[in-house]
Every structure is written in C-alpha cells, then in structure tokens.
Amino acid sequence: NKIPATLIAGDGIGPEIMASVTTVLDALGAPFVWDHQNAGMGALENQGSALPDATLDSIARTGLVLKGPLTTPVGKGFRSINVTLRQQFDLYANVRPTQTIVPGGRYSNVDLVVIRENVEGLYAAMEHYMRVGDDPEAVAYGAGFNTRAECNRIVRFAFEYAVKNGRKKVTLVHKANILKILSGIFLHEGRRVAAEYEGRIELEERIVDACAMELVIKPENYDVIVTTNLFGDILSDLTAGLVGGLGMAPGANIGEKMAVFEAVHGSAPDIAGKGVANPLALMMAASMMLAHVGRQDLSARLDGGMKQILTTDGIRTRDLGGTATTEDVTQALLRAIH
C-alpha cells in the first residue's frame, strides 16, 4: 500500500526541517514513497528554473506533495512559485488548522480551522498604473473577481470538511456591507450552500473586521471559518499568532485531484543552517497529509507525539521561548511515538 508522493525540501531552513519530518515519518511507517524534486531558489541556481518541468511533471503524476518553504526570487518577471502552483493545479482550498498545544500562552482553548479560497478574489493580480499628466504611475488600479461557481465550491468544501471532521459550525467571513457585489456573491452563494446542511452544521456570518477583533478577544468561539482569498490570507496568519506563531502553523492546498502540504512560514533565511528551526509546522502538515490519504491512525500518533514533547517533555525551539534544536525535537519525537 505504498503511496507515491513528491517531496520538495525547499530553500533556507527547508532541508533541515524536512530531514526532521522524513526521519519521523519513516519511524512511523508512513506509506509514502518519495519522488525527490526541486523548486525555489535552489532549483533556479541548479536547473535554471524556480519551478522546473521535472517538478511539475512529478506533481502532475503523484497528485500529492510535501513541500518545504521556497524563497521567491526577487525581481521583475518572477511570480510567486506558490501562487503558480495553486493556479496551475487548481488548488482552490487552503486549509489551516489552528489549535492550542503549547500551554501557558495567551489562549488555552483555540481549536479552529481557516479555509481560504485560494485562486480568485483580489489576488487575481489584475493591476496596473494609470497616468495622470506627467506621472505615469499616479494611480494604482487593481481589480479582482469571485465566481459563483467558486464561491459554491469553497463553501461546500468547508461544510464537507466540518462534516468529515466532526465540527459543529461554519462561519462565512465577508465584507458584503461595503463590497456589495465582489463579497456579496460569496455571502449569498454561501448561504445557499449552508441551507443544504441545515440541522447538521450551524451557519454563522461575520464581517471580516469584526471577525478579526473577535478572533483576538475570544477565539474559542470559532470552529470552521471560510472566506475569500485576501481575507483568508490575513486571518490565517492572525490565527497562527494565537497559538505560538509561524513555527506551529501547517497548511494544505487542496484541489479536486491534488493536494500540497506545507508549513505556513517561509524559508527563514535569518536562521537557516543553524539547526534551530522549529520543524513542527511542517510536521503538522505531514500529519494532515497522513489523514488525507486515510491514515488517521498514524496522523493521530504523530499528533499525540507532538503534544507530548511540547507539554510533558517541555521541548521547545527558540521561537517558542525554549532552547531546543531541530535535532532535539526530532529525537524527542522519535521517543514519543514509540
């Protein structure tokens, strides 16, 4: 029952945290057979492309990816690799679970999931300057779009996610009071989808700014949040901050036939090569990947191990206020899962 999957170690701290994750997955007996591929800065230097054809072919073949952070080359003509992957493989749902694991933080009972629409909205990059008089860049103009079909698909995804994961409530987050059409289509289509789940999953609606405030004051009130691209980008970083920051935030980009699992954080050039990066965000992404392929048993064991090392064992990397190295976390986790 081996499952072929593409593995991209990534840039910066990528190789360090990926080594930790694959070591632990091997010890767990995870079913993945890795097809190692490159992307990002390293691939640009060695293969002449930040997203080589071999990598795209592998992803198209396996439909399943574990990905380290990629450094997006700075300069004109380079599009974000992550955005390219999302568009190319129609990875329309970005799923970011947030749960309190580290005790002693500001919030003790956070357990929510942000589901962000990943391919439309204001990130469609339809933007340009407009000239006024002598100044060719006097006005910056940007537009976005949301389709009814996509609003339906992402809200349905959120409700199905709630059903499958035993969650009780879905909150539609919008700004339809101001963006009556652009955000209104999401709200109205969302309500139609929600009606199909009436009696099973509770529907709640929030305006995005009020939602941001409430997330900081009482995040325990939230369960599943579904929203459009820009709002989801911002809110999901906010929720990561509720539970210990980027080192604790996993994410999945999911399409009809494809899924890419990754940490939310970037390549952390400031700490790359020092052996101190927190591998747990990528570890949690790997746990989501195990659940995605039907190995909830291994996913639960890995989650239990992470919980144990953070609470009972008190193993924390520097981003969590501790002194543990990446390797310390790996070794502690190997002990915890046995």
Residue 97 or 247: the one with the smaller Cβ distance to ligand NAI is 247
Measured between alpha carbons, how far is residue 70 from residues 7, 41, 248, 311, 319 in Å? 13, 7, 18, 30, 20
User: Both tokens of residue 333?
Assistant: 């986790």
CB of 68 to Mg ion, least distance (A): 16
* Residue 255 near residue 140, CB atoms below 8 Å: no
Q: Taking phi first (over 0 means left), then psi (-120 to 50 degrees means alpha), and beta for anything else, what does residue 275 get? A: left
Q: Which does 265 bind (CB under 5 to 8 A by kind): ligand NAI, Mg ion, none?
A: ligand NAI
Cβ neighbours of residue 329 closer than 8 Å, sequence gap 6 or more: 20, 278, 279, 280, 309, 315, 317
Tell me the C-alpha distance between 249 and 260, whole Å: 15
Annotation marks residue 169 as catalytic: no
Q: Which does 69 bind (CB under 5 to 8 A by kind): Mg ion, ligand NAI, none?
A: ligand NAI
Place of tokens 């570890």: 283
Catalytic residue among 123, 161, 197, 222: 123
Annotation marks residue 107 as catalytic: no
Asked whether position 233 contacts Mg ion by CB under 5 A, the answer is yes
CB of 266 to ligand NAI, least distance (A): 2
CB of 319 to ligand NAI, least distance (A): 4
Residue 111 or 233: the one with the smaller Cβ distance to Mg ion is 233
Q: Taking phi first (over 0 means left), then psi (-120 to 50 degrees means alpha), and beta for anything else, what does residue 322 get? A: beta
* Residue 155 near residue 91, CB atoms below 8 Å: no
Q: Which does 53 bind (CB under 5 to 8 A by kind): Mg ion, ligand NAI, none?
A: none
Annotation marks residue 2 as catalytic: no
Asked whether position 313 contacts Mg ion by CB under 5 A, the answer is no
Q: Which does 185 bind (CB under 5 to 8 A by kind): ligand NAI, Mg ion, none?
A: none
Q: Which does 268 bind (CB under 5 to 8 A by kind): ligand NAI, Mg ion, none?
A: ligand NAI
* Residue 194 near residue 172, CB atoms below 8 Å: yes
Tell me the C-alpha distance between 252 and 289, whole Å: 8
Annotation marks residue 233 as catalytic: yes
CB of 83 to Mg ion, least distance (A): 10
Span near Mg ion by CB under 5 A; candidates 50-58, 65-73, 74-82, 228-236: 228-236
Q: How many helices (H) and strands (E) does the chain have?
A: 11, 12
Catalytic residue among 233, 237, 307, 313: 233
Contacts with Mg ion by CB under 5 A lie at: 233
Residues annotated as catalytic (active site), given as ranges: 123, 175, 209, 233
